[in-house]
Structure 1
Amino acid sequence: MQSQDVAPRPSSSSEPLVDVEQAEAALVEHYPRLVRLAYLVLPPRLGRGRRVLTAHALVQRALPRGSSPAQAIPAQSTGRGTDPGYSYVRLHVVRAALEADRPRAGRSRSLSAQLPPLLPQVWGLRLFPRSGGADELALDQRLAALPGPARAAYVLRGLEKLADHTVREVLDAAGVADPGAALRQADRVPAQYALLESPEFDPCSLQARPTDLMRRRRHTRAALAAAAALAVCGALLVLPGGGWGPDGAAAPAYARNPSAEAALDPGRLVRAAPTAWRTSARLDFSVWPARGGLTADTALLRRALAVWARPGESVRVSATPGTASGGPAGPPQLLYAGTVDHARVVLLYDGLRIARYAEPKDSTAGAVLDLARVDGAAGGRAAAVVLGRSDGNVRYLAAPWVRGAAERDLMKPAAAPVDLGLTDGVTGSLASPVQQTGACASWHVLQLTGASGTHLLTDLGELVPAGLTTGRPTAPHEVSGEAGLRAWAPLACGLAAVRAQGVRSVNTWEYAEQPLPDASGTATWACTRADTWRGDGPRVLAQFRAPGGKYAAVAAQGEDVPDCGARDPHVLAGVLWKSGAGDWYLLAAGSRDTESINASGGVRGASQGHLLAVAATRGAQATLKGTLADGRPVEPLR
């Protein structure tokens, strides 16, 4: 890619004037969007924390000093019209963010956007946006590979909804030498514009983490003697046993702590025997042996442990909801250390969490740390961990008791599985369903076969894949036969609703079959429940599938409810349905122990049993109530 110089362009004297009050009003009204725009255009090499502060500083510096000519470039086509105040502020934000991506040489180049802002400074805290899912991470990496003008073009298209000719005008006014080339380079990134609105790229909704607490505590004491300071530095550089080497992307350590040092010593890593799983009473992560070609690379293991304990500002850290992000309390267990695609990867396990550290093969810059909660995992829930993602594919490390790995399309239950192969426990590449765009036409899952049986696992954008099961909530079973595959086929695309939520397993249960009015065939009702590792916040869907339909429709849904679970294996839901003859009906179904269903409100009717079909009108609103065989009431899922 050719570099594109950025230099301010003079404004025409005929352009409308923008005074301070007009620009300030636009800045205050659209401040969150302007800061997001600056954050996305700023060079990723600044690090997430510095990008946040710099984005806020650039927006706050964008006000004119008096009345300034405004560029005649429209604002976003929806919502802001042609407000010259907003156009002026946006242009100056884009220009300043592009200047931050230029080299510092040359007198004519401004340094104001390249230097860290003097204010605001938040002492004792590191601020950065909330971590998103796999889609946001992939988009951020693609944007980081673009030059500044191309990145600005992509963001103006996606975030500001500007047409290409307007983007050219904004880039030209911001000093880009070749706006057309910037647009062509932006075309290389998939148009996932909706992701730009996600919390991953919101510098106004931040997470806070403390800086090194021991260092701050030490700074509150009286001034230390120079000899004591040198002794502390020497202790950090020359650690016991001849030193462990540099920490790579980890933040600096400032205090000696024997327990913490033991957890960071690669020589103390726990390594299970290769055959430990054969005699163990429990098949879980504790019996995984250390695999991979870099298990003897002490420097790599040291960096992985140090980054886990204290990730630096440049490290991308993600954790499934409910997962603690602190370092290990003691020496963790080594599961894997090796090269995967274009990265060096280390997998560690501390009894409660899996940690994945990854760095480029030729550098320690751009390190990534992923954490996932796995407490209580056994059998199928401890059968695989994500090793790496590349080009929309995912590669897994399988448990030592797994003998075969295959790929299945969940939406084609009759199709034979495709063998993925296993090399030292590493599977071949599998198309990840969370990376697909557009209409949901397939959902590829991982099928593992071994000592713990056959398990079907799906990637939901996290470190540990979620297990898929079928059957009554009190006795779910693995999806291994044709009946289980057929039950999941019309429901597969609904799995997209539970991505990146820390899901442990998803169970689906066909709880009712209902003959339809007008002799239209038989419909099926299914209840799908996603349970998380943390135990709370599951999502429950009641889905209705008409005869001949390829997909099931969501009739009702609820979150953090006991319905359709082991504690309360009951469900009730209803839907308005139009027959082939053009008549509308209220259909409702409960689990088989539902003794009666009553409808009131816009539709009135009652039935004995777990099925209800009542004539209705289009758009009618009804309230459902059910009674179980033991006399207890059951409410519809909501």
Structure 2
Amino acid sequence: MPILPPQQRTDPHPDRTGVRQAEAALVEHYPRLVRLAYVVLPPSLGRHRRVLAAHAVVQRALPAAGSRVRVPRVPAQSRRSGAPQGAEPAPEGAGAEQGPSGAAYGWMRLRVLRAALAHERRPRWWPGRLPAPAALRPAVPVVWGLRLFPRAGGVDELALDRALSTVDGAVRAAFALQLLEGLDASGARELLAGAAVADPGDAVRRAARLGRPDRAGARAMLWSGEFDPCTVQTRPSDLLRRRHRVRAVAAAAALCVVAGGLAFAVDAGTRPADDGRGPAGVAAPALDPARLLRTSPDRWADTSRVDFTAWPARGGRTDDNALLGRALRAWAEPPESVRVSTTPGTAAVPPAEPPQLLFADEVDGAAVVLFHDHADRVVRYAEPLSGSGGAALDFARTDDADVTTGAAVVVSRTADAARFLLAPWIAESTTRDLLAPDTPGRPLEVDPDGVTAAVPRPGAGGACDAWPVIQLRSSERIVEKHAFLLTDLGEPAPTHLTYMPKPGRGTPARQPREATGPDALLAWARTACSLRALAGSGVRSVNNWAFAEQKLPEGGASADWVCTRADTWRGPGRVLVQFLAPAASPAAPAAVVADREDTALCSKFGQHVLAATHWRAGSGRWYVLGAGSRAVTGIRATGAVRGAAGGPTLAVRAPRDADVELTGSLSEGGTLTAVH
């Protein structure tokens, strides 16, 4: 009797089998997929929303059991993903080095990538910023009463996150696919093409510039807790608001009963007198002064988040509901009489929820109200106490503010001076002139509510003969002996000034530090007037990096090279490279030899710099001078004149207007051209 092979059983529902494979891949690699989605999603969502969106993107990527999709079955020993049969082919390269293998994982990864990239293509008003079909499903996950944040990293992780915020989603996706998924450039291009990216090659090329020169370090940072939305810290949402919401729900239920009864008693076309919406459709609770959030006075000393959320409500008119109501209504729908200003990159949209009250009082002939909302903005409303002038409404970004960048807000400004409202953790305040580095600071008076005396403003035009700044010191309950400088660049939030000292022989690269020491003050005395070029551009902080010191020909005097980098609240930076030749006055302005916008130069992700300038010696002879940062091991000059030098500096004789190009050699290999 012949022995027949056992009958092969087939699944009568192949679609269901494919969905089960996809589900298995999702469950097995869920943390990896969520991290990928988190990196690709727009940082403008904020950390809490981005965490929830990353989980939602991955969970919604799983098709429904009855969907007409076929995820291919993959043997356990398979090392690369094949192309699935069905409506959505799996990308190649899913099993590349470092990444999980299997076509089911590759297929799910493609769906996650498409959904994450779709966030940037959705209008800002779209529900959840998700693709249309997903937006119609119930929002998952849902978190009530808590705000979620990945574990805070260090300065390097924050710098990487800011660098990622300056590029679009396709570039972030290419960066993540190579560093998180281990794909090469070709594999990343193919996967991006499958995700409907318009120009995958350009995205991969731009991603290659991120994280340089330490790509291994950038990969480690992407795998750190800063970018892990599965390991999060929690803090409560606003407890007072939650209590108000409970009462509001009860009140709304009662109103619904009343409205339902009225609906039967009136004509079908009659509208209710009050639809619960404020101006421009803003929810009424957001415009109710009684629902404004107020922080307890001592919270700043007992929280790990030392920023504007820790500011208490201060001022003599914090209980003036009429004033607060006018400020909120002007914010929601500014009338034509209200002058509105915004720092670059700041949305002037109405509040979605009741904001936090920071200040309300009379200052310099105006009633001033300061709010902080959950979109990380500070909003200033000011109305004159007398006269016919209109009110003013100012918006400023304050996302990721800290002990220094959240230490002060301009509460009143005139043509010649400004008053600041200081954070509750400021223990000492002085003023000083950056152009007088040897002159000690003068005490700055502060009233009990934290409002300073008038501080002279830097001149916007004419002669630059003074540059006033305020020097603040944090309470020892926050950090011991921490003093820092802030300057007024014409916006609600003052700008933090820092300094990086000259490279020391045999010492590792240094980090920015507070600009309060003698060397920092001397460098800022020569470069302070260049801050005029940054006024009104939304600058968060400015760092002076003394990247080279050069002995000049014909006498041996020394000159310094400084890279002045301005970082904005929205991410992009601007760089001014300045040459500090010997001068008789400690405040003699430096010569700006290069100006570059939207660049990572002179930051964690642009650590190497080479610059050049023409310089005239005392004899009347002209030279081309060049200097590079610590990793520059040699400089070569080509063009109208030729020359070379070992080390980070070069000086060659050249006519005054000679066209000379400098190229530097780096200790780690490669070359560097001079910045212009």
When residues 486 and 254 of structure 1 are mapped into structure 2, their CA distance, relative to the original with a 3 A threshold, is: closer
Structure 1 residue matching 2:336: 3-state secondary structure: coil
Q: After superposition, where does 1:450-489 map in structure 2 within 5 Å?
A: 450-451=474-475, 452=479, 453-471=482-500, 475-489=511-525
Letter in 2 for 1:470: Y
Q: Distance in 2 between matches of 1:229 and 1:601?
A: 81
Question: Structure 1 residue 503: deviation in Å?
Answer: 0.3
Q: Distance in 2 between matches of 1:280 and 1:295?
A: 23
Name which of 321, 327, 340 aligns with 1:317: 340
Q: Distance in 1 between matches of 2:337 and 2:518?
A: 47
Check if 1:334 corresponds to 2:357: yes
Q: Distance in 1 between matches of 2:359 and 2:268?
A: 40
The equivalent of 1:416 in structure 2 is 440
Letter in 1 for 2:600: P
Q: After superposition, where does 1:200-599 map in structure 2 within 5 Å?
A: 234-235=273-274, 253=279, 260-351=283-374, 352-362=376-386, 366-423=390-447, 424-433=449-458, 435-451=459-475, 452=479, 453-471=482-500, 475-519=511-555, 521-536=557-572, 538-548=573-583, 550-599=588-637
Structure 1 residue matching 2:345: 3-state secondary structure: coil
Structure 1 residue matching 2:404: 3-state secondary structure: helix
Give CA deviations for 1:134-170 in whole Å, capped at 9, x if unaligned: xxxxxxxxxxxxxxxxxxxxxxxxxxxxxxxxxxxxx
When residues 299 and 229 of structure 1 are mapped into structure 2, their CA distance, relative to the original with a 3 A threshold, is: farther
Question: Structure 1 residue 436: deviation in Å?
Answer: 4.4
Question: Structure 1 residue 603: deviation in Å?
Answer: 2.2
Question: Structure 1 residue 298: deviation in Å?
Answer: 0.2
Q: Distance in 1 between matches of 2:269 and 2:552?
A: 82
Question: Structure 1 residue 478: deviation in Å?
Answer: 1.1
Q: After superposition, where does 1:137-152 map in structure 2 within 5 Å?
A: none
**Would you say the 8 A contact 1:403–1:450 is kept in 2?**
yes
The equivalent of 2:116 in structure 1 is none
Q: Distance in 1 between matches of 2:307 and 2:559?
A: 40
Structure 1 residue matching 2:559: 3-state secondary structure: strand
Structure 1 residue matching 2:611: 3-state secondary structure: strand
Q: After superposition, where does 1:112-127 map in structure 2 within 5 Å?
A: none
Identity within the alignment, %: 48
Question: Structure 1 residue 446: deviation in Å?
Answer: 1.0
Question: Structure 1 residue 325: deviation in Å?
Answer: 0.9
Question: Structure 1 residue 491: deviation in Å?
Answer: 0.4
Structure 2 residue matching 1:505: 3-state secondary structure: strand
Q: Distance in 1 between matches of 2:567 and 2:292?
A: 32
Question: Structure 1 residue 230: deviation in Å?
Answer: 8.3
**Would you say the 8 A contact 2:369–2:380 is kept in 1?**
yes
**Would you say the 8 A contact 2:460–2:532 is kept in 1?**
no
**Would you say the 8 A contact 1:392–1:436 is kept in 2?**
no
**Would you say the 8 A contact 1:466–1:505 is kept in 2?**
yes
Q: Distance in 2 between matches of 1:337 and 1:304?
A: 10
Question: Structure 1 residue 437: deviation in Å?
Answer: 3.4
Structure 2 residue matching 1:519: 3-state secondary structure: coil
| Structure 1: gaps of 5 or more residues | 1-225, 241-251
Q: Distance in 2 between matches of 1:521 and 1:481?
A: 23
Give CA deviations for 1:282-303 in whole Å, capped at 9, x if unaligned: 2111010000110000011111
Structure 1 residue matching 2:533: 3-state secondary structure: helix
**Would you say the 8 A contact 1:262–1:268 is kept in 2?**
yes
Check if 1:607 corresponds to 2:645: yes
Q: Distance in 1 between matches of 2:304 and 2:356?
A: 19
Structure 2 residue matching 1:422: 3-state secondary structure: coil
Q: Distance in 2 between matches of 1:542 and 1:449?
A: 30
**Would you say the 8 A contact 2:280–2:332 is kept in 1?**
no
Q: CA RMSD in A?
A: 2.1
Question: Structure 1 residue 632: deviation in Å?
Answer: 2.3
Question: Structure 1 residue 392: deviation in Å?
Answer: 1.1
Question: Structure 1 residue 227: deviation in Å?
Answer: 8.0
Q: Distance in 2 between matches of 1:286 and 1:589?
A: 44
**Would you say the 8 A contact 2:279–2:332 is kept in 1?**
no
Give CA deviations for 1:554-594 in whole Å, capped at 9, x if unaligned: 11121111111111122110001110001110000000210
Q: Give the 4+ runs in structure 1 shifted more than 4 A.
A: 226-232
Question: Structure 1 residue 362: deviation in Å?
Answer: 3.3
Q: Distance in 2 between matches of 1:253 and 1:309?
A: 6
Give CA deviations for 1:199-257 in whole Å, capped at 9, x if unaligned: xxxxxxxxxxxxxxxxxxxxxxxxxxx9899866x438xx89xxxxxxxxxxx8375x6
Structure 2 residue matching 1:371: 3-state secondary structure: strand
Task: Please report the TM-score for the alignment, with normalisation by the length of structure 2.
Answer: 0.56
Give CA deviations for 1:345-383 in whole Å, capped at 9, x if unaligned: 000001310000000013785011000000000110100
Structure 2 residue matching 1:527: 3-state secondary structure: strand
Give CA deviations for 1:502-535 in whole Å, capped at 9, x if unaligned: 0000000111111111115111111100000010
Task: Please report the TM-score for the alignment, with normalisation by the length of structure 1.
Answer: 0.60
Q: Distance in 2 between matches of 1:254 and 1:608?
A: 66
**Would you say the 8 A contact 2:541–2:566 is kept in 1?**
yes
**Would you say the 8 A contact 1:570–1:590 is kept in 2?**
yes
**Would you say the 8 A contact 1:474–1:566 is kept in 2?**
no
The equivalent of 2:234 in structure 1 is none
Structure 1 residue matching 2:486: 3-state secondary structure: strand
Letter in 2 for 1:508: N
When residues 364 and 230 of structure 1 are mapped into structure 2, their CA distance, relative to the original with a 3 A threshold, is: farther
Q: Distance in 2 between matches of 1:380 and 1:540?
A: 21
Structure 2 residue matching 1:624: 3-state secondary structure: strand
**Would you say the 8 A contact 1:599–1:605 is kept in 2?**
yes
When residues 338 and 597 of structure 1 are mapped into structure 2, their CA distance, relative to the original with a 3 A threshold, is: same
**Would you say the 8 A contact 1:628–1:634 is kept in 2?**
yes
Structure 2 residue matching 1:529: 3-state secondary structure: strand
Q: After superposition, where does 1:8-87 map in structure 2 within 5 Å?
A: none
The equivalent of 1:187 in structure 2 is none
